Amino acid sequence: MSGPSRPTDPPGLERYYVLTGGRSGPGGSASTLDVATLIISRAAAEPGLQHEHEEILRRCRDPLSVAELGAHLGLPFNILAVLLADLLDAGRVEARDPIPASGAGRGPDIALLEEVLSGLQRL
């Protein structure tokens, strides 16, 4: 399944250049995004927004991971991250870790890791 496209979109790499305004990667708050980060819309699409920005806002009414969003839109991670940076900076979306940290500065949940290890050893 391919992502949304319009007849006026340039093909291939030129399309990505146009979508990102020539930027090759995100900056600021979006530089910490990874494929498991959940994206949630905080605003509705408004007239004049770029088509891909509208699609992101529409699809992320419910939390959606960056990986899922990229698959739906047919965009590589770095291109999607630039578009998400635009929306994050404008306050139109929110980025959340998929599993909230149980305590600031603490590492992963050891009990959960032990359960996973035990399950893998039983395989």
Q: Residues 60-98: pLDDT tens digits?
A: 999 999 999 999 988 888 888 888 988 998 899 999 887
Q: Residues 96-114: pLDDT tens digits?
A: 887 665 555 566 678 888 8
Sheet holding 38-41, edge to edge: 64-65, 38-41, 93-96
Query: Residue 99: which region, alpha, beta or left (left: phi > 0; alpha: psi -120 to 50)?
Result: beta
Q: Residues 20-64: pLDDT tens digits?
A: 666 666 666 666 788 889 999 998 888 888 888 999 999 999 999
Non-local CB neighbours of 89 within 8 Å, separated by 6+ positions: 28, 29, 30
Burial class (CB in 10 A: 0-12, 13-18, 19+), 63: middle
Which two three-digit tokens encode residue 6?
């319009």
